[in-house]
Amino acid sequence: MKKSEKVKGKEAVAARKKRTRLYAGIAVAVVLVAAVSVAGFFLFNSTGARPGDTVSVYYTGTLDDGTVFYSNLNSSPLMFTMGDVNLIYGFQEAITGMTPGMTKTVRIPFDKAYGAYQPALVHIVNRSSLPAGMDPVAGEHYTIRRITDGANAYVRIINVTPSAIAWDENHDLAGKDLTYTITVTAVEKK
């Protein structure tokens, strides 16, 4: 059975419409891929701070009750390399993506700051084991060399008696959530 010219024409028109829809779909996909690529380029190649970059910041750190525990607003900005292990993770995480001139306030939970307070880091030491002439004072901070591993430990004296002292190796901010207001002054790309 032969198809009429009218049926053949309708089939040809339908095939053209199908190809047009297919080509339009491909064109939309190409445009979307290009847009995502451009967005990704700007997101990951922006002037915002990234690991390895040298960053300068002013900041103020406060506790939940509003007490300021540190601020460098009246001194030089803190300069460091993103990824430096000497800075708390949450602080660097907050700065990631920031650009010069940006300011933000972030709350950093203790587990991304100085960790949980560990009672096992409080030690009672016989005064006779202290170096001659050392007269520890409660509330003062000292650097000691641990006998167990030879490492330096930074301790705060929490109690002094005639026969013993108690010191705490926890960081003063251990177990505390911290709030920082941070202003980035410079980002030097690696």
Q: Could you list the pLDDT tens digit for every one of the 190 residues in the chain?
A: 566 777 667 777 777 777 777 676 676 666 666 555 555 544 454 679 999 999 999 999 999 999 999 999 999 999 999 998 889 999 999 999 999 999 999 999 999 999 999 999 999 999 988 878 888 999 999 998 888 888 898 999 999 999 999 999 999 999 999 999 999 999 999 8
CA distance 173 to 32: 48
Task: Specify whether the CB–CB gap between 177 and 93 falls below 8 A.
Answer: no
Task: Specify whether the CB–CB gap between 179 and 109 falls below 8 A.
Answer: no
Residue recorded with tokens 């177990």 = 175
Backbone region of residue 22 per phi and psi (left: phi > 0; alpha: psi in -120 to 50; beta: other values)? alpha
CA distance 43 to 58: 24
